[in-house]
Amino acid sequence: MKKIYGLLSLLAVLVLCSSCNDEWKDEQYGHYVSFKAPIGSGGVTPIYVRYKANEKMTYQLPLIVSGSTTNDKNMTVHVAVDPDTLAVLNYERFQDREDFYYQELESKYFTIPETVGIKAGENTSLMEIDFTLKDIDLVDKWVLPLTILDDPSYNYVANPRKHYKKALLRVLPFNDYSGVYGGTALKVHMWGDESQTPIVKSEIPSYVVDENTIFFYAGNIDEERIDRRNYKIYAFFNDNGGVTFTSENPDMKFTVNRDASYVVKEIMDDVRPYLLHRYVTINNIDYEYTDYTMVPNVEINYKVSGSLTIERKINTQIPDVDQAIEW
């Protein structure tokens, strides 16, 4: 009797294994088409695009066919701009703070194809987005919202999950000097109180203006201020190592007390020998400005002095310089 039970058990295992093996021959999931655009902390996907005033720059956004088997047909995927999803995101995240809203990237700054092909035997394809970003103002937070269109007449099915069917691309142009600077060495004092403890910010973001110019906000002003647009300071990096600070707003009473300079230092990583650390340090920062909107009818004068440093990590094994940067 025990032998019979043993044989039956062995037969059951063989049948089960055979059934499992046969299942792997079949598709376990749907062949859905998705964007590869993982969402960051801001609810959008940051993408970094090299700024070239007079050149078209191309960003390649991956499209993926999901499933446990290889895609077996040619697909023509239809894509479009999706302002409705961006509007929902803005309200859900920022409510009535409309100055925080992401702005839909204006059509003059980009072009996208209407369709993207995915070949049979392949599970991925690249959608080429062309950017021309001359004169873009990064006081606003620009987002390119995209969606995969779905229709019964199409020869594919878009992923039913919104975070895969949609892509909210936060467009971040960069040059050799833009990014987030460490601000602990930059001191902000109220004018006349230089002996008191200074205001210090751990990070100071900067934004592209052109190939050799960035802007940041004066003193302790940041993106939280509704009126931040009034306090832009431009920094132009000269070929001779000098930095020229200017402002377009006379009401800010911006004054530079001495010339600033910058140095670039490059160091290879001790642990990862292919990784290059590129540091840009702005020295001799010394300027004054007036905050004339914080308190109605009251002008508050500030003196700012010190230095700023930014680090950029570059993977020297990647030939494409833009793709080599580890953001």
CB 61 within 8 A of CB 167: yes
User: Residues 192, 228: one domain?
Assistant: yes
Q: What is the CATH number of the domain that holds 297?
A: 2.40.128.440
Give, in order, the Cα–Cα distances in Å from 193 to each of 77, 199, 316: 62, 11, 47
Secondary element (H or E) of residue 16: helix 2-23
Residue 12 lies in a domain: no
Domain range for 193 is 179-326
Q: What is the pLDDT of residue 62?
A: 97
Residue 2 lies in a domain: no
Q: What is the pLDDT of residue 17?
A: 52
- In this structure, the strands spanning 232-237 and 213-217 are antiparallel
User: Residues 215, 144: one domain?
Assistant: no
Under DSSP, the state recorded for 148 is E
Would you state the structure tokens that stand for residue 31, as one six-digit string? 């062949």
Phi-psi category of residue 38: left, alpha or beta, with phi > 0 → left and psi -120 to 50 → alpha? beta
- Comparing C-alpha atoms, which of 261, 170, 260, 256 is closest to residue 218? 256
Name residue 221's amino acid. Answer: I
Q: What is the pLDDT of residue 15?
A: 47
Q: What is the CATH number of the domain that holds 82?
A: 2.60.40.1740
**Cα gap 315→291, rounded to integer Å:** 41
- Comparing C-alpha atoms, which of 35, 11, 15 is closest to residue 169? 35
**Cα gap 30→93, rounded to integer Å:** 32
Would you state the structure tokens that stand for residue 13, as one six-digit string? 């295992």
Name residue 106's amino acid. Answer: E
Residue 6 lies in a domain: no
| Dihedral over Cα of 267, 272, 275, 279: its sign | negative
Q: In order along the chain (327 residues), what is the average pLDDT of each group of 10 residues?
A: 52 51 51 93 94 94 91 95 96 92 97 96 96 96 97 93 92 97 96 86 97 97 93 97 98 97 97 97 98 94 97 94 88
Residue 319 lies in a domain: yes
User: Residues 55, 104: one domain?
Assistant: yes
Total length of the chain: 327
- Comparing C-alpha atoms, which of 180, 220, 216, 221 is closest to residue 200? 220
Q: What is the pLDDT of residue 4?
A: 55
User: Residues 168, 193: one domain?
Assistant: no
Residue 90 lies in a domain: yes
**Cα gap 317→137, rounded to integer Å:** 33
- Comparing C-alpha atoms, which of 217, 187, 190, 215 is closest to residue 285? 187
Number of domains in the chain: 2
Which pTM was predicted? 0.87
- Comparing C-alpha atoms, which of 80, 154, 144 is closest to residue 118? 154
Cα maximum dimension of the chain: 100
User: Residues 83, 56: one domain?
Assistant: yes
